């Protein structure tokens, strides 16, 4: 069954991490890359076939060349399709909730860098 697509899709190859629960209830994780992103969903190139309607958590680190500050896009969504075209396979997911937030840095002991002053 084809899902209607809403919004313009932007081809982007960005690193992505996803999490989901297996049918047995254990937390699973995988990494891949985005194939495209729209305001309502994205295609994730990943060598794992997830079931339709599987709830997933998605984290995409946005490129600092575009955002000018390190940001990550955190999304909660659902798998709506699985595709394979030649060597590229992955899942299409709809975005139900999202949040843009600063990238959490590690190794600083939880301390924030000092604020810049004029």
28 exposure class (CB count in 10 Å sphere: 0-12, 13-18, 19+): middle
Query: Whole-number mean pLDDT of the chain?
Result: 86
Spans of all domains in the chain: 10-102
Q: Give mean pLDDT, residues 17-23.
A: 96
Residue range 57-107, pLDDT digits in tens? 999 999 889 889 989 999 999 999 999 888 889 999 999 999 999 987 665
**Which CATH superfamily groups domain 10-102?**
predicted glycosyltransferase like domains (2.40.10.220)
Phi (first) and psi of residue 89, to 5 degrees: -135, 155
Q: What percent of the chain has pLDDT over 70?
A: 83
């Amino acid at each position: 069954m084809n899902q209607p697509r809403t919004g313009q899709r932007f081809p982007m190859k960005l690193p992505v991490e996803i999490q989901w629960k297996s049918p047995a209830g254990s937390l699973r994780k995988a990494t891949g890359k985005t194939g495209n992103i729209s305001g309502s969903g994205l295609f994730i190139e990943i060598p794992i076939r997830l079931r339709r309607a599987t709830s997933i958590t998605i984290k995409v680190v946005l490129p600092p060349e575009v955002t000018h500050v390190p940001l990550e896009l955190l999304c909660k969504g659902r798998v709506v399709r699985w595709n394979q075209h030649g060597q590229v396979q992955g899942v299409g997911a709809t975005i139900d909730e999202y949040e843009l937030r600063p990238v959490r840095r590690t190794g600083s002991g939880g301390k924030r860098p000092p604020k810049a002053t004029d």
